[in-house]
Structure 1
């Protein structure tokens, strides 16, 4: 058979990889340009974010004209199972415009390399480069951060699904590097483990084993500490040491594959010895990452308002 047409791995609903190594992503990767958003007035631009990483930076309306405006910074990681998505994807871009407009924060939405072309830990490494860059106010190279970032208490980290997993891992790394954080927002977070919990089935666990190894070939399995942050005492201690004042965990009632893991993370972090506040918010009657496709819905507005309140607290 032709290796360019013979399927090696079918990762529904995201992509298909052929034995030749060719990867086809379902639906392609549509992009939207930076600029001024006509709905919110938020301004965005793409920048280099250190060590080869890139980010899309968002400034609230009017902030550029106010030399005295000092704003919180939210570093955001998009979802997509580590294999798809980008800050330039239409739904992600619209979400960041809305978040920045409502919160009055500077948004830093991170481009990270995707598996399988760039297996994990590439995404984590790109994310870490961007976090360090943002924490140093753009390393002197981005005037928006240099002029307007309020770093007196550190930055916020936020993400959805796989992006929430990345956000947690970045918080763990911040502890060892002395990077100050104000808060951590995990929306419908992607975590797993070799032992099923709640409503997880063995079939679901097995599918996660296959897809996790596809994205992260050099891994011990689902009990990899990046995926199971409470697998042992050392991992639990690292989670307890994340250097932020508070954590917000958001779940969705009909997120049947990941809601139990979000609740598990909330309970485990509260019991780990973490010294900050751990908050839980549940969106009712909706599923995983619902808010991207329905930003104006009642549930999405409630989720965004809860996130904004967390940032402004």
Structure 2
């Protein structure tokens, strides 16, 4: 039995957290190389945004049937609980390349800093900086092929949480116009358990959040983790024109994601009553971010088609 500072307080396939605040990353995925992906016809490259912090992005440019046609720009934030994963891992490289090809977008996948070495809000700050950079079209791919007037945000799990917080931040400081936001199984929590939540899992997720964000006010009721907590900015502050919220029926986050969707639809958010506003898709029988693990299954293809349709405005 371990005790004291060496006691393990959380253990999973990807990482192990100790009471001392130390963390072991148990899964360190290889870095997927950039270049032309024969499977999708998408070309990728890496761009460093800040040499001091190491924040970078991986850009994905699909083969366009009409080189003169400008493509929507999609800024993507990967998941991993703010603790693990990467924009350049095979899992996220392959997913974003497939999304860029299917939707016909120039994708900007963000390599933000991870906790505990860089506690939250570092991830939010990096996400904001990447959005501002993408909208400014400083890179030649974005300048030549991207349409900054059609800007989208997307993210899975912790990345979906980041999307929400970037949209809230955009209501308090100057920001580019965001046409649409796609929240894929977004990671939210709270101190009060919801119907359908597994209490032990919710407690673990609250502990992980406080580990990633030691300055969290109110634990899992910190407004950045619980958008419906007392004192959290109202959903009317969301700064995007349209939204797609996605959940998995058997995901441990499903109850939170349904509550988030309900809160948006019943709010005074301008998008909730215009142009179809906020849309919802729940993948029957599927768990958390299943589309990353089983990209070729029927439900993953169905979800991809819905995301592509959303970007197209359908």
TM-score w.r.t. length of structure 1? 0.90
Write the distance in 1 (CA, Å) between the matches of 2:23 and 2:258: 34
| Count of paired positions | 303
Deviation at 1:147, TM superposition (A): 1.1
Using the alignment, how far apart are the partners of 2:229 and 2:17 within structure 1?
A: 31
Partner residue in 2 for 1:75: 75
In structure 2, stretches of 5+ residues that fail to align are 272-276
Counterparts of 1:84-103 in structure 2 under 5 Å?
84-103=84-103
List per-residue Cα deviations over 1:250-273 (Å, max 9, x = no partner).
Answer: 111111x10011110000011121
- Aligned residue for 1:306? 306
Aligned partners of 1:49, 1:70: CA distance in 2, in Å? 23
Distance (Å, rounded) in 1 between the aligned partners of 2:283 and 2:188 = 19
CA distance in structure 2 between the partners assigned to 1:198 and 1:28 by the alignment: 35
Distance 1:97 1:234 in 2: 35
CA distance in 2, matches of 1:295, 1:218: 36
Rate the CA distance shift 1:223–1:58 in 2: closer, same or farther, 3 A.
same
2:257 is the alignment partner of 1:262 = yes
Displacement of 1:118 after TM fit? 1.2
Q: Deviations over 1:81-103 (max 9, x none)?
A: 11111111111111111100011
Q: What are the superposed Cα offsets for residues 273-295 of structure 1, whole Å, 9 maximum, x if unpaired?
A: 11110100111121110011221
- Cα distance 1:19–1:269, how it changes in 2: closer, same or farther (>3 A)? closer
Instruction: Report the equivalent of 1:156.
Output: 152
Task: Give runs of aligned pairs for residues 167-206 of structure 1, distance below 5 A.
Answer: 167-176=163-172, 177-206=174-203
Identify the match of residue 236 of structure 2 among 240, 261, 273: 240
Question: What is residue 166 of structure 1 aligned with on the other side?
Answer: 162
Contact 2:188 2:256 in 1 (8 A): yes
Shift of 1:62: 3.9
Task: Determine helix, strand or coil for the equivalent of 2:223.
Answer: coil
Q: Is the 8 A contact 2:248 2:287 kept in 1?
A: yes
**Distance of 2:19 and 2:223 partners within structure 1:** 30
Say which SS state the counterpart of residue 13 (structure 1) adopts: coil
Distance in 2 between residues matched to 1:79 and 1:245, nearest whole Å: 23
**Aligned partners of 2:10 and 2:204 also within 8 Å:** no
Please state how far the C-alpha of 1:233 moved relative to its aligned partner: 5.2
Contact 2:168 2:237 in 1 (8 A): yes
The corresponding residue for 2:274 is none
Change (3 A) 1:233 1:93: same
Matches within 5 A, 1:125-164: 125-137=125-137, 140=138, 142-153=139-150, 155-164=151-160
Corresponding residue number in structure 2 for 1:38: 38
Shift of 1:59: 0.4
Contact 1:7 1:16 in 2 (8 A): no
| TM-score using structure 2 length | 0.90
For the residues of structure 2 that align with 1:310 and 1:249, how far apart are their CA atoms? 11
How far residue 194 of structure 1 moved from its aligned partner, in angstroms, is 1.1
Q: Using the alignment, how far apart are the partners of 1:267 and 1:45 within structure 2?
A: 38
Regions of 4+ moved over 6 Å: none
Gaps (5+ residues) in structure 1?
A: none
Question: 1:86-131: CA deviations, max 9, x gaps?
Answer: 1111111111111000111000000011111111111111111101
* C-alpha contact (below 8 Å) 1:157/1:171 kept by paired residues: no
